[in-house]
Amino acid sequence: MKITVTGSGGFAGIVQQHVVDTGACAAGPALEAAVRDSGFFDAPAASEAEGTADSMRWVIRVDDQDRSRSLQFADGSPDAARWQPLLSLILAA
């Protein structure tokens, strides 16, 4: 599984990208379980318009064998509460 997180925005307008190949990192099995347990592939599309003008906006993309999915949300949006734990695990890997 390949997981890519892109964050952009904030006060400084920064852009950051974090890529994890779960087959090549020690946290891989835990990340795969977290993606599965979160219902990532079955969740409704996250909103991209929520948050404030200086909020970080996040895109989480997961490529797993024959399926791919991306979700977008902004810090402070209703979707952030659901996806923040997964985002934190990915960024820590």
52-87, pLDDT tens digit by residue? 667 889 999 999 999 999 999 988 888 888 999 999
Region 32-40: mean pLDDT is 96
For residue 44, the tally of other CB atoms under 10 A from its CB is 8
For residue 2, the tally of other CB atoms under 10 A from its CB is 14
- What phi-psi label fits residue 5: left (phi over 0), alpha (psi between -120 and 50 degrees) or beta? beta
What does the mean pLDDT of the chain come to? 89
pLDDT value at 49 more than 70: no
pTM: 0.88
